[in-house]
Structure formats: C-alpha cells, structure tokens
Structure 1
C-alpha cells in the first residue's frame, strides 16, 4: 500500500524544497502544489470560486502521482505531497472566511500516513504569488495549521530550522511514519 506524507504550512516555509529533497532521499516522487501552476496560468488574482477548481486539480494531480508511483520500479516508496485539502481549507477561510463543502468532504475522505508542518522560521522570500510577508499573518497561519493537526488523528511533526536541519528532522519523522 502506498504511503503518503503531506508537507504543509504557510507560504514561503520551504514546502516544495523539502518535498523535492525527501523524494530524492527516498528515491521516490513528490506531487507539487497545483495552485501555483493554476495561478501562474490564470493570473495571481483569484476569487472564492477559483478555490474549487484548484482543489479538484490538486486532488487529480495527487491521484496521478500516486498511480505513477504505484506503477514505478519502486512502488513501495512513499509519495510526498506538497499541499493537501487542509491547505485549501485554511486558504479559503483565511482569505474568504468560508470553505467549500467539497474540500471539507475530501479532508474527511482522504487518508495520509503523516504530516510535516513547516515552521515560519525561514526568511520570507517574495514571489509573484505570495501574499503574506508580515510576521503576524505568517504566525497566525502557522497556528491555524498546527491547531488543525493537533485536532486530527494522523501523526504529524513540526519541522523547523535551516534547510539542513529541516531535512534531517523530516527524514526522522518520515521514517517514524513509515514504520507505523
């Protein structure tokens, strides 16, 4: 059975970098964040209605990567997922004060083997899609993610420090998730 590890946290916390590093370390693959490609293609201005096709695109991409992993030479390696429906929930509620029922239903339906929550202790790096450079917003978002993880049953680990420390902590946590 394919093990899935999700990397979540506020923007500019090294999620994509960590996903790629973990996939390289374990000789497996990682599913990127669909929203980034969607917004680069359609423009950085988005509405509440855009969140539903983004969520569906993320799930389709995750399913595609999962199937590819299962058909690969190393089908038992973990799949690392940069973003899941918790991120969509937080995004919808933080920006629009609401969340699509579809996203909530998918949170309940999907199973993951572990979460890695990236801390905000890396310097914020601007890019055309990032919206919250201020420390107060980043801390608030981090606390929302942490509260979500504390109140669900999937194991999780907080990942902080420099890139080297993060990778080491993420490997330890992933090994624990895979053994469980």
Structure 2
C-alpha cells in the first residue's frame, strides 16, 4: 500500500458498511482537504454479474480482486475507505466451506491499513442481493471477524449507533489518526474538544470487551450519563 491511508470497514452483513464508507469518505475529505475515495464491495458486483454466490474455489480470486481495488485506489488518493476487505472473504470461506486458507492474505492486507473499523450488529437486518445469507449468520460472522482480528494481533474499533451517530462514532475512533492531517479551519479540533469534554472519563476496562453484549451495555451507560 504505497500512497493512500486505508481505513478498512469490516463486519457482518447488513451492519451499514456501505453507507458508512460513503459518508465517512465524504467527511474525511472535508476534514483533511485531501483526495479521498471509497472502494465498494467486489463480491456484490460479482454476484450481480454471475447471478449466484461464489463457490469455494472462487473465494481466493474474489479476495485478491478486493485487495487489488483497494491498492489501486490507495495509489491515487491520500485517504481510502474500504467497504469490506479480504478479511470478510476469509471469514465467509471459513463459515461456509470450513476453509481458513485465506486468513494469511487477509492479515497481511490489514497490516498495511491505517485503521480498521468493525460495524456493530445493532441495525435491523435488510435483504440486499445474493450475497446476503440472512439475519441468522450475523452473530456467527461477527464472532469470526473478532477472532480473526485477535488471532492476528490486529487493532480495531467498534462503530455503533444509527444514522449520523454511526458516522460520528467512526470519526471518534479515527480522531488520533485524523488530528495530524486536519485542514486549517476544518473544525476538527474544536469538534473533538467539545466531544471529549461532554463524555464521562473512561475509568474501567472490561476483559471481555470484544463481546457484543458488553459493548451494548457500555453504550447504554454512556448514553444515560448526564451531558
């Protein structure tokens, strides 16, 4: 990954990855003033073209093409938001075909990214093309994504909330990365200072912080805190 800073968005199906990718790219462009784009999910296009879901032997090529598109965008832009990565292909290959052979490629790709965002399973499931299996797979996929990130020692931030709150949560997670690249008068520092002043101090860390129920409980506590 030679030029662009890549922000990867991963997560189970119907958790708002595509919507978040587009909105986040727009906000990053405004905050940094730098060329920014987002890369869509190649699997979506593949399924529409072929009229079916891929076989086990077709997974590796799909993962490679997703990474090629991310790398191509990164070579031409300062910032790239990736709506899914080879990690998701690896996870689904493991879930559907009991094949873990793509995890090495996925981990290598993520080590070249600037940040990884994991979308929380807190949105209603919606049908959207052949690549979606149903709401019953969201929890297993979420667990596999988390385990893969943990197994490979990859850092990530969970992004939850609905609508604009989800975009704001993503910007919160990316604040340390974006601070050094904020455009003059972009309002990033003022915005962050106000948010940090409004949030209660973080005084406790859960040893099970990769558990979705724990995240949801923590979010409810934050939302209930006086502002």
Structure 2 length as normaliser, TM-score? 0.69
Cα distance in 1 for residues equivalent to 2:108 and 2:178: 21
CA contact (8 A) 2:6 2:80 kept: yes
Q: Give unpaired runs (5+ residues) of structure 2.
A: 30-35, 181-227
CA contact (8 A) 2:119 2:159 kept: yes
Q: 1:92 to 1:106 in 2, by over 3 A?
A: same
Number of aligned positions between the proteins: 170
Cα distance in 2 for residues equivalent to 1:55 and 1:117: 18
Partner of 1:104: 103
Q: How do 1:29-108 residues align onto structure 2 when only pairs under 5 Å count?
A: 29-69=37-77, 75=78, 78-100=79-101, 103-108=102-107
Structure 1 length as normaliser, TM-score? 0.85
Q: Name the SS of the counterpart of 1:125 in structure 2.
A: coil
Partner of 2:218: none
Deviation at 1:52, TM superposition (A): 1.8
Deviation at 1:87, TM superposition (A): 0.7
Q: 1:152 to 1:179 in 2, by over 3 A?
A: farther
| 42-51 or 5-14, which deviates more | 42-51
Cα distance in 2 for residues equivalent to 1:29 and 1:119: 23
Q: Give unpaired runs (5+ residues) of structure 1.
A: 70-74
Considering only aligned residues, what root-mean-square deviation do their CA atoms show, in Å? 1.9
